[in-house]
Amino acid sequence: MSATKTNIFITGATGYIGGSVFQRLVTHPNAANFDITALIRSPEKAKFVKEKFGVNVVEGSNADLDKLTQLAEQADIVLNVADSDDLAAANALIQGLKNRHDKTGVKPTLIHTSGTGFLVDDARGMFATDKIYHDSKPEEIENGVPDSALHRNVDLAVIDADRKGWVRGLIISPPTIFGMGSGPLFDSGLVNKHSLQIPLLIKTSLARGKGAGVVGEGKSIWNHVHIDDVADSYIVLLDAVLKDADAVPHGREGIYLLEAGEHTWYDVSKAVGKAFVELGLAKSDEPVPFTEEDLQTYIGSTFMGYLALGSNARGRAEQIRALGWKPKYTTSDLYALIKPEVEVHARAVKAVA
């Protein structure tokens, strides 16, 4: 890593979110002023990234804690896009950034990836909540979200490090992400280009073989955002930090929700059902509720099924918009992009049948 450029260390650079962010880093207008290092687990992916993009690549994973600490210590900015629930890895990164602060007196920045899973309830598809969290009001999250909530233990570690003055901690929390990853990294065929929740609904429905499924009555509400708009949010934050780091809300005030609209799970399931009918995969587009046995059999966990496809998680992305983030994709795009997802996963099922 160079001492004259902005040293940026990114984890998860060959993941769905991380890959999308990484591609924006290397094509950034100021990329010539960045010294980018990516930690990549797979030797094949590491070789491709190094040859294709010309960045520093270190082979390793989140399990290599000493390596995480060492690489973070060399960075002005760390983008942690690998695993929102890996506390040990987050602590290793924080330790490296603390070491850098102790040696230089300069506060480095950690942009950590969380998710709005910390806002979920146990609705199981049976009701829509009217509780909406605003990220410009940290007290709403602090008073309304238990420390035991999903992702929250890692978020709190980042906030604590920020409070102690070692790190400038920024936390990006995407909701349901839709759309497929695009660009040369994804075109290589080496990188997953699919999100979690909607593909999970599609694959579970296909595996069950009774048409589109839904948890409960599908009344629960989540926010959504396109993968390209997610990736753009990291660049908006990065640019804000590079312009005037002290002016960027951080720590307890540095949670950045993302959203570009809302959906009920029934409406998503109905769109999946319509795609099933159009593709000859079902006779009716009406969603058929999943049983607990279905969730256990096809997802492997009733808890994950209820959480991912039956809970409420509603927020407002006021902070990132204040910094200039303008999502390009809308709710209508969410529904328009469901059929292409169904086509991909249906072909995959057919290929192994």
C-alpha 252, offset from chain centre: 19
Q: Check pLDDT > 70 for residue 3.
A: no
Q: What is the mean pLDDT of residues 141-147?
A: 93
Which structure tokens are listed for 33? 């002023």
Q: Is the pLDDT of residue 352 over 80?
A: no
Pairwise CA distance, residues 36 & 25, whole Å? 8
> Quick one: 165 exposed, middle or buried, by C-beta within 10 A (0-12, 13-18, 19+)?
exposed
* pLDDT at residue 4 in the model: 82
Q: Give dist(CA 87, CA 286) in Å, integer.
A: 41
List, for residues 64-121, the tens digit of each pLDDT value: 999 999 999 999 999 999 989 999 999 999 999 999 999 999 999 999 999 999 999 9
The percent of residues in the chain predicted with pLDDT above 70, rounded, is 98
Q: Decide: pTM greater than 0.85.
A: yes
The 3-class secondary structure across 73-85, one letter per residue, is HCCCEEEECCCCC
| pLDDT tens digits, one per residue of 28-80 | 999 999 999 999 999 999 999 999 999 999 999 999 999 999 999 999 999 99
- For residues 246 and 170, the answer to whether their CB atoms sit within 8 Å is no
Is residue 348 over pLDDT 90?
Answer: no
Matching residue, tokens 């529904």:
335
- Helix, strand, or coil (residue 72): helix
Which of 292, 282, 291, 290 lies closest to 266 in space, CA to CA? 290
- What residues are paired with 255 via a beta bridge? 171
* Cα–Cα distance measured from residue 238 to residue 95, given in angstroms and rounded to the nearest whole number: 21
Partners of 9 in the β-ladder: 37, 78
N-to-C CA span, the chain: 48
In the numeric block, which tokens belong to residue 163? 């409070």
Name which CATH class applies to 6-122+131-178+224-257: alpha beta
CB 39 within 8 A of CB 58: yes
Residue 79 bridge partners (DSSP)? 10, 111
For residues 238-257, average pLDDT: 97
Output the CA torsion sign for 257, 133, 143, 244.
positive
Q: Which residues contact 282 (CB under 8 A, 6 or more apart)?
A: 210, 211, 212, 273, 276
- The CATH 3.40.50.720 portion of the chain extends over 6-122+131-178+224-257
